[in-house]
Amino acid sequence: MALSKVIENLDNTPTDSLQTTTYFTEPQLEEKGYFSHYYNQNADYKIHAEKNPLMSIREALKDIGHEDNSRNISRYRKAMRFNDLENRPYQIVEIILPKIPLFLFFFAPIISLILWLLYVRHPFNFMEHLVFTFHIFTFFFLSLFILIGVVSISFGLISWEIPTAIILGIGGPYYLYKAMRRFYNQGIFITFLKFTFINFVFFLLFTMSALLFIIGSVFIGA
C-alpha cells in the first residue's frame, strides 16, 4: 500500500516541479557566433537571476557552471539590471527625468532649424527662432521643477505618472500651440499642422535619446 501511494503521489506531481532549467555551457556558447553567444548567455543569466534573486554574482556563475571572470560577471550584472527595470519600470522615469534639461539643450538648435524651414517665408532669422525655442523650453524647465517639487513633497502619496501627464502631456503641448499662434501669427489650421509636425519630431528625438540613456544606464551604470 505504501509503495502504491508513493507512486500515486509521483503521478499527481505537476510536471513543472520536476523540470529544472538547463543553461548553455560555455563550450556550447563558444561554438556560436558573437551575437548568438551574447544573446543566449544574457538570456540564461536573466532567467537565472530571476529564479535566484538572493544569490551573489559569483555564486550564480558557479551554480550555472560558468567561469568566474570579468566578462561573465559584467554580463550577469547587466542581466540583473534588466530584470530590475522590468520589475520596477518606474525607474525608467527616474533615469530619463534628470536628463530632460540635457535633451532640451541639444534639441534647441534642431527644433529652431525646423521652425526656420517651416516659416521660411516669414521675416524671422534663425536666431529669432532659437530665442522662441528657448522660451518654450523655459516653460518646460519650470514645469519640470514643479513636477519634481510636487512629487518630492508628496512623500510617496503621488506617483510620477499623474503630474507628468498633466504638466508635460497636456500643459506643455497647449502652451506650445498658443505660443506658435501668437508669435508667428498664422491661422488655426496651418498652426495646428506645424504644431503636430514639431511634436512628432520632438517625440522622435526624445524617444531615441531616452532609449540611448536607458541602454547606457544598463550597460555603463550596471
- Tell me the per-residue pLDDT of 97-116, one tens digit each, with 9 for 90 and over: 666 677 777 788 888 999 99
pLDDT at 16 over 50: no
> Of the candidates 25, 20, 22, which has an alpha carbon nearest to the alpha carbon of residue 72?
25
Distances (CA, A) of 10 to 20, 56, 67: 16, 33, 36
What's the confidence (pLDDT) of residue 137? 84
Summarize the confidence of residues 129-144 as an average pLDDT. 85
How far is C-alpha 71 from the chain's CA centre? 24
With cell 519634481, the residue in question is 148
pLDDT band at 17 (very low <50, low <70, confident <90, very high): very low
**Residue 24: φ, ψ to 5°:** -65, 135
Answer for the pair 60, 49: CB distance below 8 angstroms, yes or no: yes
The answer to whether the CB of 77 falls within 8 A of the CB of 57 is yes
Cell 529652431 belongs to 112
**What does the alpha-carbon distance between residue 166 and residue 173 come to, in Å, rounded to a whole number?**
10
Per-residue pLDDT tens digits for 163-217: 777 777 788 888 899 999 999 988 999 999 999 999 888 888 877 777 776 666 5
First to last CA, the chain: 56
Angle at 209 between CA 42 and CA 139, to 5 degrees: 145
Alpha-carbon distance of 9 to 5, in angstroms, equals: 6
Cβ within 8 Å of residue 147, ≥6 positions away: 97, 160, 163, 164, 167, 168
